[in-house]
Structure 1
């Protein structure tokens, strides 16, 4: 990943770059660089793209402001203006607008060779992408085989504090087309929506989820960032549902495979119960249920426990299973069950007796009750 700040530090003096507005947005990551002289081109830009203009199509204040407004709407990371021929002075109103939006506005003088500048920045962006992909491969191999991470520790030490804590966050998109181009577009948007993440981190796709690995980062700050990202995504990505699952904050590089599995369990919880964000530490019993990869085991357990009630309900069109669920929920309170089901107490009493008969149990033993409660948890999962 390479940000505008990185570019300014690396080649800012060489190309006489001056950031005249939106300095707080310079931490955003650059996806690619595009020349924009026609406002109709802007609709094809992606989130995190950087625009550069000679000013040919934006010589008056209104046209330039319209260009900036459209770039911000497209979630671009900034605008570089090659001043000196078509645009000599940037209007104060546009500088103020960019400052208000934290949208970087950068100038380079006319004598700078724009072709060389674009080629240089593009090469740096491409190299950053290749570096990220290489590191992502290390992590993906480590998710499959944790012994691999130790082989890559020296390489990863160049990018992360491998002895500090790591956290894995998984992001899932409902109904997102599974083409590579759509996945990359989604990653660019989400990375932009997260804004400036104040730690070492990496985004990449793995097993149909977008992975965010953060290093040496406070958990409450990560949760806060996720919440803000969700709000922004709901506002800007109309109709695209996003779910987030957070793993645990665990120490050292070797914890990542375990952390990834916990994030998967949290994501399953979020998807199952339609919660925007789920943290592994908060999902209770489902920490166990959603960590079991062999779903057949869970399905069989549910059937073994409750099949007599399932078959009876199917044959008699009754509600024994539902009644039993509330029996467990309300600790056997006939009154509360009757209120929940809008059913007479005598009817509830009859059903409970029938349930005891079918299950061959008096339902007065904690171990028995836990067994059946677990079966209902499995069904909900």
Structure 2
């Protein structure tokens, strides 16, 4: 018979318990991983349909009186159902527990107790439930103590950082909080083992069919985690994750994580509300500054200091508009990008806001700074929030006076307009890259300019209107693709012979030749002048 004092449990050494109070003690000190929370009596063969997780199942052996070997058949089913242990009374209906059942229980880590014939089941129920209730009372007291301590901490404005530090110490395991923007908040132990720049590892936990126990790999170590949703509808995508790094999770640890989710949700609402108010003040300041509504440098410095942006006079500044080349993101997406740029920008001093529906950047550079390095830093920031090659930065001329930043903004708007017309797709565009198209944009709309433009454009528009054709549209796409007939036909969804015919028809109407360089140049300039004409 097994030594009752040992902490391990081997079913092949059946525990014969003369006093069931001792059995309960052994169950708590043995290698069982399941907690007993109730007792169930099995005296029918189909009891498997009625058992529940956490039960200690006891039987007189009556269901197996004719087939003791059937005990082995039911053990895997009991394990699957989450039953904690099995107690079998011998000598009355069965002489002993079959060896096959004990071997199978050993393999599955499922405890079996041999109960003396004199055992009274009501005594078993009473003894176990007394201990279960005492244990539950202790756990509830511990849970309440933890919850009270953590709630007091947040009540006095300690914030999420100190909250996670305290929770880390209480549970002696790392804690990770993932918000709805995939931003990670890490407890002190988590900071040592978790890569903050890899939020996708944690956001993947949202895809699990249900929250609770899961597994992840950190470095070369596979660990168990307990995942709980922050208990607030506004933040139903936020996760609180307890890592099993130093010690196993207890039931109270998991209950603690579930309960404090309410506190975390409330604190995130408060923090988000404060942040939104602060961001509104910062946005209003940036918008007033960039558009020139703050007239004097004294007022500008006061507003900047109030928003936490002290001005450095020894800087030149640029304003850039972000031109999205394919699909323009929603305002909400741009607002999320602004939050990311303000909190984790690699470009020191980079500011962002939304003006007239466009994402606007304001950045400074030292008087003798290297502009290419600054642009690389900005693009590194942008690539984090938007796909590469999906945008172009339209950069206004630099200004050395902080109160004259609006001039750079006006430049950026013009560059944005011209680059849209000319479909520039370089990573960034300024006046130098616009070349001759800058001159066309700034040409006054005089009678001479109108006459030059109309000489090429009006005959095409009149022909299209009369014959329901597409000469003008074809010509636009033709120049867009640098006179490539194949690419033009692909964009227009028409045969390349049709494109060639239309181009020839344009030449006939205008009396020009596409083989003559000056003719091509004049026609192209007329097309751009028409696109840049005032609405």
Q: TM-score by structure 2 length?
A: 0.40
Per-residue deviation, residues 124-175 of structure 1 (Å, max 9, x unmatched): 9689647634632541451xx6x82556355478622345311112236655
Structure 1 gaps of 5+ residues are: 1-36, 38-48, 82-89, 103-113
Matches within 5 A, 1:80-229: 80=187, 90=189, 95-98=192-195, 129=279, 132-133=282-283, 135-142=285-292, 148-150=295-297, 152=299, 154-155=301-302, 159-162=310-313, 164-171=315-322, 174-178=327-331, 184-192=335-343, 195-198=345-348, 200-217=349-366, 218-229=370-381
Structure 2 unaligned runs (5+)? 1-146, 148-158, 200-262, 490-495
Distance 1:243 1:362 in 2: 31
Task: Deviation per CA, 1:324-364: give whole Å up to 9, x if none.
Answer: 99799999xxxx989998669x979964762344x8x9998
**CA deviation string 1:254-291 (max 9, x = no partner):** 54222112222333456553737432132334435567
**Structure 1 CA distance for aligned equivalents of residues 298 and 440 of structure 2:** 32
For these two proteins, the number of residue pairs brought into alignment is 287
| CA pair 177-157 structure 1, distance change in 2 beyond 3 A | closer
- In terms of mean alpha carbon deviation, does 222-231 or 150-159 score higher? 150-159
Cα gap change, 1:364 to 1:211, in 2 (>3 Å): closer
Deviation at 1:55, TM superposition (A): 2.0
In 2 relative to 1, CA 219–312 (structure 1 residues): closer, same or farther, beyond 3 Å?
Answer: same
> In 1, distance between residues paired with 2:169 and 2:451?
67
Corresponding position of 1:275: 425
Larger Rg: 2
Indicate conservation of the 8 Å contact 1:165/1:216, yes or no: yes
Q: Of 383, 388, 393, which residue of structure 2 is paired with 1:244?
A: 393
Q: 1:310 to 1:57 in 2, by over 3 A?
A: farther
Conservation of the 8 A alpha-carbon contact between 2:318 and 2:395: yes
Give the match's secondary structure for 2:508. helix
Distance in 2 of aligned mates of 1:339 and 1:233 = 31
Classify the secondary structure of the residue corresponding to 1:152.
Answer: helix
Residue 171 of structure 2 aligns to a residue in which SS?
coil
TM-score (norm 1): 0.52
Cα gap change, 1:267 to 1:231, in 2 (>3 Å) = same
Q: Is the 8 A contact 2:168 2:187 kept in 1?
A: no
CA RMSD of aligned residues (A): 5.7
